[in-house]
């Protein structure tokens, strides 16, 4: 569906120059989200303004018009747009249309959505065993929204068989959908029909159904299932996958559109690099997949924790997902992914704060917060630091201004590669028990740079690297 945007998505749209057209359309402004979920069923809200100063709001969009605005912007920017032509297959060197005609191209970007043309044809799809869900949804005219300041928020309500969304759209329309267990939903739809099943799910979500009192279903219901998957490879000879054609997690938190938009931004940088600097194409492809999968894993872990930590409802749907979620991965890694990175999303701490976290996750959270106290630096530059065990600095393609460039990453087992500047790479390489003052002096001497400025930058970088577990303090503050 993809109607509820995140502030992080607006940042990308602003960067490519299309945001003014989005803002002028009159879409509903979205301040955050309201949920009936967690330890208690009483609704609570979180707001983008709490964590995102640049974009303290987002939008609830009507997708046909939103997509049209993006298409028109592409044409204004120089793209040749051909509508009403189906692609039959993709081959190295271009595509074949349904008419049999061939269009040659040095690079093909597969943005075919859930159709996933390349991944399906090449057997690249890996299905997710956790998010085995089904959604049934439709559009209502009338009814009412939440009270201000939450009247533009998406409303998510947990109920016995899953959860239901209600998204306020312009013109008094609401997008409403229920997410349930795939097997349960498919069986019920076969036995009772889609219309009756959808009506029963809406009625079961009592707060949402109260908002829809007097509303009329004007379009739908529709049903979709088996959407959670990730491609084994997102790049190959002459092609790159992006958006739902590369991966999709779950409708939760509206991450599908954000992954598509931010992934397209990365894909554009990759294509530019592959065409302009062929010698860097291989490294750029690896970096594209690494950055895209990092975002995917972050949102995947957050969605898993969301399902696993709900205690407001007891049913097969929630219990099965609690048990499965509690068994997934290392709890400390889960914590790091859930509360670091993707800061513009802005809802991680709020969501996890309202849930009943799995016991091993909560224990890891307490240990991580306590450990931070032991990683504080001395204020005078005499702190001695070293690289964490197993980490190293590697040469790699890193994202620059519209393309990938030769650079460095800090890499190691069981963690995402961290792209770093030349200064940070030098700092990490020299962090072998030396003091920050000594490291800064060595960097300044090697680069004929101003020592006070290098020292200031080195201390600031060290603080971030220590917080991220890249550097360790040899002699923490007593």
| pLDDT tens track for 9-20 | 898 999 999 999
Answer yes or no: is pLDDT of 403 > 50: yes
pLDDT tens-digit profile of 88-140? 888 888 999 999 999 999 999 999 988 899 999 999 988 887 778 889 999 99
Task: Please list, in sequence order, all residues whose beta carbon lies within 8 angstroms of the beta carbon of residue 453, skipping any fewer than 6 positions away.
Answer: none
Contact 281, 227 (CB under 8 A): no
Give the span between the Cα atoms of 112 and 241, in whole angstroms.
9
Res 335: pLDDT: 42
Give the span between the Cα atoms of 362 and 366, in whole angstroms.
6
Contact 423, 408 (CB under 8 A): no
- Of 413 and 269, more confident: 269
- Among residues 58, 52, 50, 55, the alpha carbon closest in space to that of 6 is found at 58
Answer yes or no: is pLDDT of 42 > 60: yes
Answer yes or no: is pLDDT of 331 > 60: no
Answer yes or no: is pLDDT of 299 > 70: yes
- In a 10 Å sphere around its CB, with 0-12 CB exposed, 13-18 middle and 19+ buried, how is residue 25 labelled? middle
* In a domain? residue 365: no
Q: What pLDDT band is residue 428 in, cutting at 50, 70 and 90?
A: confident
Res 152: pLDDT: 94
N-to-C CA span, the chain? 53
* In a domain? residue 466: yes
Q: Helix 255-276 vs helix 7-15: angle between axes, to the nearest 10 degrees?
A: 30
Answer yes or no: is pLDDT of 337 > 80: no
Tokens for 469, please give them. 């577990």
Give the span between the Cα atoms of 222 and 172, in whole angstroms.
20
Res 338: pLDDT: 44
Q: What pLDDT band is residue 363 in, cutting at 50, 70 and 90?
A: low
Q: Which DSSP string corresponds to 168-197? A: EETTTEEEEEEEEEHHHHHHHHHHH-HHHH
- Of 228 and 233, more confident: 233
At 356, which helix (H) or strand (E)?
none
Which residue's entry shows tokens 């994202």? 399
Q: Count how many domains the chain has.
A: 2
- Domain stop point among 181, 202, 224: 224
CA-to-CA dists, residue 235 to 184, 222, 254, 310, angstroms = 36, 32, 25, 37
* In a domain? residue 112: no
* In a domain? residue 5: yes
Res 17: pLDDT: 94
Lowest mean pLDDT among 29-33, 218-222, 421-425: 421-425
Contact 342, 295 (CB under 8 A): yes
Lowest mean pLDDT among 38-52, 126-140, 309-323: 309-323
pLDDT tens-digit profile of 56-66? 899 999 999 99
Answer yes or no: is pLDDT of 189 > 70: yes
The number of beta carbons lying within 10 Å of the beta carbon of residue 1 is 17
Q: What would the mean pLDDT of 35-55 be, rounded to a whole number?
A: 79
* In a domain? residue 371: no
Give 469's DSSP letter: T
Res 309: pLDDT: 66
- Domain stop point among 175, 203, 224: 224
Res 47: pLDDT: 84
- Of 471 and 212, more confident: 212
Res 389: pLDDT: 86
> What CATH number did the domain enclosing 59 receive?
3.30.9.100
* In a domain? residue 293: no
Q: Which DSSP string corresponds to 414-426? A: TS--EEE-HHHHH
Answer yes or no: is pLDDT of 459 > 70: yes
Burial pattern 446-463, b for ≥16 Cβ within 10 A else e, equals eeeeeeeebbebbbebbb
How much is the mean pLDDT over the chain?
83
At 427, which helix (H) or strand (E)?
helix 422-430
Answer yes or no: is pLDDT of 333 > 50: no
pTM, two decimals, is: 0.79
* In a domain? residue 440: yes
Tokens for 82, please give them. 């051909």
Answer yes or no: is pLDDT of 381 > 70: no
Res 1: pLDDT: 73
Res 307: pLDDT: 75
CA-to-CA dists, residue 342 to 292, 427, 468, angstroms = 12, 24, 14
- Domain stop point among 185, 201, 224: 224
Domain that holds residue 49: 1-76+138-224
Q: What would the mean pLDDT of 10-31 be, rounded to a whole number?
A: 93
> What CATH number did the domain enclosing 408 receive?
1.10.10
- Among residues 253, 208, 206, the alpha carbon closest in space to that of 33 is found at 253
Q: Which of 296-305, 362-371, 386-395 has the highest mean pLDDT?
A: 386-395
Parallel, antiparallel, or unpaired for β 392-399 and 404-411? antiparallel
Beta bridge partners of 384: 435
């Amino acid at each position: 569906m993809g109607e509820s945007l995140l502030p992080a998505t607006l940042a990308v749209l602003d960067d490519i120059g299309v945001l003014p057209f989005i803002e002028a359309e009159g879409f509903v402004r979205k301040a955050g989200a309201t949920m009936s979920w967690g330890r208690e069923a009483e609704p609570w809200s979180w707001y983008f303004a709490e964590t995102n100063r640049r974009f303290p709001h987002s939008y609830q969009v009507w997708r046909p018009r939103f997509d049209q605005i993006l298409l028109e912007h592409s044409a204004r920017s120089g793209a040749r747009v051909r509508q009403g032509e189906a692609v039959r297959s993709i081959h190295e060197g271009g595509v074949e249309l349904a008419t049999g005609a061939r269009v040659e191209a040095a690079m093909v970007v597969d943005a075919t959505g859930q159709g996933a043309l390349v991944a399906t044809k090449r057997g690249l799809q890996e299905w997710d065993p956790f998010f085995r869900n089904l959604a049934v949804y439709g559009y209502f005219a009338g009814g009412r929204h939440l009270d201000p300041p939450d009247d533009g928020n998406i409303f998510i309500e947990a109920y016995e068989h899953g959860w239901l969304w209600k998204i306020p759209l312009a013109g008094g329309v609401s997008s409403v959908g229920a997410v349930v267990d795939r097997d349960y939903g498919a069986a019920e739809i076969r036995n009772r029909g889609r219309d009756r099943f959808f009506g029963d799910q809406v009625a079961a979500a009592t707060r949402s159904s109260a908002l829809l009192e007097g509303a009329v279903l004007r379009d739908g219901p529709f049903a979709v299932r088996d959407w959670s998957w990730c491609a084994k490879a997102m790049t190959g000879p002459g092609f790159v996958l992006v958006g739902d054609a590369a991966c999709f997690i779950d409708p939760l938190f509206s991450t599908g559109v954000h992954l598509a938009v931010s992934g397209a931004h990365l894909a554009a940088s990759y294509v530019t690099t592959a065409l302009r600097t062929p010698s860097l194409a291989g490294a750029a492809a690896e970096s594209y997949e690494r950055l895209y999968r990092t975002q995917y894993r972050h949102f995947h872990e957050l969605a898993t924790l969301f399902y696993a930590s709900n205690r407001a409802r007891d049913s097969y749907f929630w219990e099965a997902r609690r048990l499965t979620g509690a068994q997934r991965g290392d709890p400390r890694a889960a914590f790091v992914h859930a509360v670091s990175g993707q800061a513009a999303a802005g809802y991680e701490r709020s969501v996890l704060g309202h849930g009943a976290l799995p016991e091993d996750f909560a224990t890891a959270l307490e240990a991580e917060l306590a450990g931070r106290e032991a990683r504080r630096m001395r204020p005078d530059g005499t702190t001695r630091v070293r690289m964490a065990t197993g980490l190293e600095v590697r040469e790699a393609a890193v994202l620059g201004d519209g393309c990938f460039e030769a650079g460095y990453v800090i890499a190691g087992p069981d963690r995402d590669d961290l792209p770093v500047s030349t200064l940070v790479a030098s700092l990490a390489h020299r962090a072998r028990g030396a003091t920050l003052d000594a490291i800064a002096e060595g960097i300044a001497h090697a680069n004929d740079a101003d020592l006070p400025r290098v020292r200031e930058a080195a201390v600031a970088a060290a603080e971030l690297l220590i917080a991220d577990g890249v550097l360790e303090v040899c002699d923490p503050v007593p």
